[in-house]
Amino acid sequence: MSTSISPSTQYSASNFVVSAGCVLFRKREGALELCIIHDRKRDQWVLPKGRKDCGESTAEAAVRETFEETGYRCELLPCRMATRAPRPGVNTLDRVEVIDNITEPFSVVIWQQGEQGVKLVWWFIGRATSDDKVLGTQAAWEEYDSHFVEAEEACTRLKYQSEMDTAREAIQIVRDGNMGGL
């Protein structure tokens, strides 16, 4: 038996959790705004995300969790972005291509959780489909207040560096050619 030329780590299903979320945007009076949530229990600002349910795709989980945690109905925003995923039906070498109008994850964060293993968070870019906030969408244990904030200001409020970096990357993707989709 030979070993791979690339280092790898394997986790059984009991040692990883798949989560997904959206960096949720809207455009208001020409300004780009991002939705962040204030976790009242921990007194910290975070991006909306949560665990994927069995049988659910990561994209479906991102939209559902974003709605549940923010109260804003949303959809994935088709964007122009660099990706290593091939175009549908095209068999190419593994390389980076810039593709228009895709709703692929633009980032993944891997959080080491000690004995529990890892948490994989797949990040998508979303847009609010309504300015109307729906109340009562959170789980019983969640105590979140969601707020749309000017995009750059929202980044400065986020608690975790990985979420700041994620939000800034999403802002750049949106500003580089997707403002018309908002």
pLDDT digits (tens, 9 = 90+) for 1-45: 677 788 888 889 999 999 999 999 999 999 999 999 999 999 999
d(CA 73, CA 128): 6
Return mean pLDDT, the chain.
93
Kindly state whether residue 146 falls inside one of the protein's structural domains. yes
Q: Can you give the pLDDT at residue 120?
A: 97
Q: Print the domain residue range for 156.
A: 16-181
- Amino acid in position 42: R
Kindly state whether residue 168 falls inside one of the protein's structural domains. yes
99: domain CATH number?
A: 3.90.79.10
pLDDT at 92 over 90: no
Please tell me whether residue 105 adopts helix, strand or coil conformation. Answer: coil
pTM here?
Answer: 0.93
Q: Which two tokens stand for residue 36?
A: 């962040």
User: What is the average per-residue pLDDT within 129-156?
Assistant: 95
Kindly state whether residue 4 falls inside one of the protein's structural domains. no
d(CA 70, CA 156): 19
Task: Spell out a b/e string for 106-124, using b for 16 or more CB atoms within 10 Å of the CB, else e.
Answer: bbebeeeeeeebbbbbbbb
Tens of pLDDT, residues 34-81: 999 999 999 999 999 999 999 999 999 999 999 999 999 999 999 999
| E-only strand ranges, the chain | 16-28, 31-39, 44-46, 49-51, 72-76, 79-83, 97-102, 107-112, 118-133, 144-150
User: What is the average per-residue pLDDT within 137-153?
Assistant: 95
Q: How many domains is the chain partitioned into structurally?
A: 1
pLDDT band at 87 (very low <50, low <70, confident <90, very high): confident
140 or 182, which is more confident: 140
Kindly state whether residue 46 falls inside one of the protein's structural domains. yes
Kindly state whether residue 9 falls inside one of the protein's structural domains. no
Q: Can you give the pLDDT at residue 180?
A: 60
Kindly state whether residue 2 falls inside one of the protein's structural domains. no
List Cα–Cα distances, 163 to 11, 55, 68, 84, 121, in angstroms: 24, 26, 19, 22, 10
Kindly state whether residue 30 falls inside one of the protein's structural domains. yes
Q: Can you give the pLDDT at residue 179?
A: 60
d(CA 62, CA 52): 8
Q: Can you give the pLDDT at residue 62?
A: 98
Kindly state whether residue 123 falls inside one of the protein's structural domains. yes
| E-only strand ranges, 44-117 | 44-46, 49-51, 72-76, 79-83, 97-102, 107-112
